Structure formats: C-alpha cells, structure tokens
Structure 1
C-alpha cells in the first residue's frame, strides 16, 4: 500500500507543469500580527476595505499588536515596512470599525504617496 502511494505521487509530480514566477501574481498582501479579539476584529474590517482597493499589487501591509495587561492594546499598521497608523484600545470595548476606517484612510494616503512618487520619478520602486 505504501509503495503504491509513493509511486502514484511520483508519477503525478512528473506530469505537473512547473509554474513560472511570472505566472504568479499577488495583489496587496495583509499580514496578521494581531493577538487579541480587538486586533482580530480590527483586521476583519480593515482587510475587507483593503480587498476593495484596486491596484494594490506590490504593497505589503502588516498589522501589528502589542498587549499591555493593565493598560490595553497598542495596534499599528505598516505599509512596505513604514508605519502609517497607530491606535490604542482600552481594556473595554472600543469602536473598532471606526478605528479600522481611520487606519484605512491613513493607508490610502500612504499608497497614493508611494504611487505619486513613482510616477514623478522620485522613487526607484515600480508597481
């Protein structure tokens, strides 16, 4: 049984066409570094907005969270490793959707700035 499985697997791998790197296209990636329910809920709203943005390929967004047990949570967003937004949540419920809206507006500003710099030749990046 084991030999048959490995034989079928080997034959399958021989006939699979290799994927060229030019065939793979990833649009804007959102990396989740959140820890708490507040962070996960923030990311839920934020990533919903991010999916709706056009032309986000080439951008990596990371949502970080640090928990302070007596004080609450610090949450920040980075676009291509540059911090664009930072907020704090208390220990009680906050208006998370409103903070996700604010974070998205800051992200849109940064993405627009990066694209404008590329179009004006002020940046070596390409998208």
Structure 2
C-alpha cells in the first residue's frame, strides 16, 4: 500500500519563543521610572536662572570686537598654512618653488595661502593663489621651469605685499581714532 503525502502526519512548525522580551520590557520600564523624575527636577531648576544666563550671553555678544580681544582668543592653533591643491607636475613644481621662497612678512598672523590649479588648453594650466578665501592672482603656466619659477617668484611677492597691507589696514581700523564714542 502506498501512502499519500497528504495523509501523512507532519510535525508542527517550530514556534519561535522570545523569552527575552519580557525582561527587556521590564528593565526599560525600571530605567524610565528612575530617570524620569531626575529629568523633571533638572529642567525645573535652571528655569529661574535662565533670564540671567540669556542676559549675560547677550552682553557678551554685544561687546565690541577689537584687536586686543582677538589677540587673547586664538580660534586656531595652526597659523600661516600654505596648502597645495595642484594636480599636475607643473602645478606641483609651482608649489615647490613658491614654498621654498615663501617667508611670511613680519607681523602677519592667522592666514592661509591656498594654491589651486585648473586645467587649461593644451599643456598649459591655470594656477590661482588665494589668501584667506580672497583670490590674489590667477595666471596661466606653461611646462617650462623658467616660466614656472618666474611666476612663483611673482606670486610670493604679491602675497607678501597683500599680507603686509592687510595687517596695516587691520591695525588702523582697530586704532583709537576709529573707535567711536557712540555719540553722533
């Protein structure tokens, strides 16, 4: 006699028992019970001191910014960076010559010089020099070392002149004659 598969008794499908769920639910309820009152107390305390804190913060924001304040607070520890963002060998040669001849002018601080490069027609490239996000110069370069060297020397002179003028103007604006009494 042949038995059909339909008539055979099959074992029941296994039931997935998640025994850990009640434990997790219980622990989370206990943690919520312990932390909820502490959060409520922590939020209630500073509400009385909030107007004073807001007033102090506004007073600090409204204080005039001067060179003395900037000299005390240095937001960056690294100053005077020269960053290479060139792509080709000509651009790297320009950066190498620029960096070997580079010397920051006296009194210049908190500046970043970035050298960018964009491809141009043929074998030429466009090199731009930025100081503190202000583009100082952009010039085409040919793959001749004499041209690269002359352009880098010119770029060093331009950046040094820009930084010297920038520092002089900043000192003038922070001087005593430029700070008003507030009376018009």
What range is the shorter-chain TM-score in?
A: 0.5 to 0.7
In the superposition, the TM-score normalised over structure 2's length comes to: 0.48
Match of 1:46 among 91, 95, 98: 98
Q: Provide the aligned length of Structure 1 versus Structure 2.
A: 101
Q: How does 1:85-100 map to 2 (within 5 A)?
A: 85-90=137-142, 92-94=143-145, 95-100=147-152
Helix, strand or coil: the match of 1:120? helix
User: Residue 27 of structure 1 contacts residue 56 of structure 1 at CA under 8 Å; is this kept in 2?
Assistant: no
Q: How does 1:1-127 map to 2 (within 5 A)?
A: 25-51=77-103, 53-70=105-122, 72-90=124-142, 92-94=143-145, 95-121=147-173
Compute the RMSD of aligned alpha carbons. Answer: 2.5
In terms of Rg, which structure is larger? 2
Helix, strand or coil: the match of 1:62? strand
Equivalent-residue separation in structure 1 for 2:107 and 2:169 (angstroms): 15
Q: Which runs of 5+ in 2 are unaligned?
A: 1-72, 175-184
By how many angstroms is 1:43 displaced?
0.5
Helix, strand or coil: the match of 1:46? helix
Q: Which runs of 5+ in 1 are unaligned?
A: 1-20, 123-127
Higher fraction of strand:
1
Tell me the residue number matched to 1:6.
Answer: none
Equivalent-residue separation in structure 1 for 2:165 and 2:104 (angstroms): 19
